[in-house]
Chains A and B, each alone.
Chain A
Amino acid sequence: MTNLSPANEPSIVAEAEAEQVARDRAGRKPLSGWRMLLPTMTPWLAVGLVLVGAITLFGIFGPYLVGDPRQIRDIGLTPPSGDFLLGTTQTGQDVLAQLAYATRGSLQIGILVGVLATALSAFFGIYGAYRGGFADEAFSLLSNVFLVIPGLPLVIVISGFVPRESRGLWTIAVVLAVTSWAASARVLRAQTLSVRNRDYVAASKVSGEKPWRVIVVEILPNLLPVIASQFVFAVIAAILGEAGLSFIGLGASNSATLGTMLFYAQNGFALSLGAWWWFVPPGLVIALFGMGLSLINFSIDEIINPKLKNLRQHRRRARKAARLERELARASRRSRPRAQETDAARDVEAAKEVSAR
Chain B
Amino acid sequence: MTTTLLDDKKKAARGGRTEPVLTVDDLTVVYEVERPVTAVKNASLTLHRGEILGLAGESGCGKTTLAYAVNRLHRPPARIASGSITFHDRDGSDIDVLALEDASLRAFRWDKLSMVFQGAMNALNPVTTVRAQLRDTLLAHRPRTPRAEVRRRSEEVLTRVGVDPRRLGSYAHELSGGMRQRVMIAMAMLLEPQIMIMDEPTTALDVVVQRDILREIVRLRDELDFAVVFITHDLPLLLEISDRIAVMLEGEIVELDTSERLYREARHPYTRKLLGSFPSLSGERGGFIRSGFDDFAATVDGTDAATTEEDRA
Contact = CB atoms under 8 A, between A and B. Distances in A.
The answer on direct contact between A and B (beta carbons under 8 Å) is: yes
Contact of A12 (B31, B99, B102, B120): B31
Contacts of B62: 10, 12
Contacts of A18: 313
Contacts of B35: 16, 20
B208 interface: no
B75 A3 contact: no
Given A1-B136, A20-B35, A349-B101, A10 B64 contact: yes
B32 A320 contact: yes
Range class of the B interface residue count:
35 or more
B78 interface: yes
A314 B77 contact: yes
A38 interface: no
A287 interface: no
Interface class of chain B by DSSP: mixed
Interface string A321-339: 1101100110000000001
Contacts of A83: none
Contacts of B59: 11
Contact of A317 (B39, B68, B76, B80): B76
B79 interface: yes
Contacts of B87: none
Interface string B32-68: 1111010100000000000000000001101011001
Interface in A253-295: none
Interface in B67-122: 68, 73, 75-82, 96, 98-99, 101-102, 110, 117-120
B277 interface: no
Contacts of A1: 110, 136-137, 140
A321 B77 contact: yes
A30 B62 CA distance: 31
Interface string B6-38: 000000000000000000000000111111010
A161 B29 CA distance: 71
A167 interface: no
Given A10-B64, A10-B65, A325-B79, A317 B32 contact: yes
A4 B120 CA distance: 8
Interface in A1-27: 1, 3-13, 15-20, 22
A22 B76 contact: no
A318 B76 contact: yes
A95 to B, nearest CB: 53
Contact of B32 (A7, A8, A324, A328): A324
A324 B79 contact: yes
B307 to A, nearest CB: 20
Interface centre among A3, A15, A354 (most CB of B within 10 A): A3
A344 to B, nearest CB: 12
A15 B64 CA distance: 14
B301 to A, nearest CB: 28
B31 A3 contact: no
A325 B75 CA distance: 11
A357 B75 CA distance: 8
A321 B39 CA distance: 14
B119 A15 contact: no
Given A3-B125, A16-B31, A11 B60 contact: yes
A135 B143 CA distance: 56
Contacts of A320: 32, 76-77
Interface in B157-201: 199
Contacts of A10: 39, 60, 62, 64-65, 68, 78
Contacts of B64: 8, 10
B123 interface: yes
A216 interface: no
B68 A6 contact: yes
B241 interface: no
A260 to B, nearest CB: 52
Contacts of A74: none
13 contacts: A1-B110, A1-B136, A3-B133, A7-B119, A9-B75, A10-B65, A12-B62, A12-B65, A13-B33, A317-B77, A320-B32, A322-B79, A357-B76
Interface of A: 1, 3-13, 15-20, 22, 314, 317-322, 324-325, 328-329, 339, 341, 345-346, 349, 352-354, 357
Given A6-B117, A318-B77, 9 more contacts: A1-B110, A1-B136, A5-B123, A6-B68, A11-B59, A12-B37, A20-B34, A325-B79, A328-B81
Interface of B: 30-35, 37, 39, 59-60, 62, 64-65, 68, 73, 75-82, 96, 98-99, 101-102, 110, 117-120, 123-125, 133, 136-137, 140, 199, 313
Top 3 nearest A-B pairs (CB, nearest first) are: A318-B76, A317-B77, A321-B76
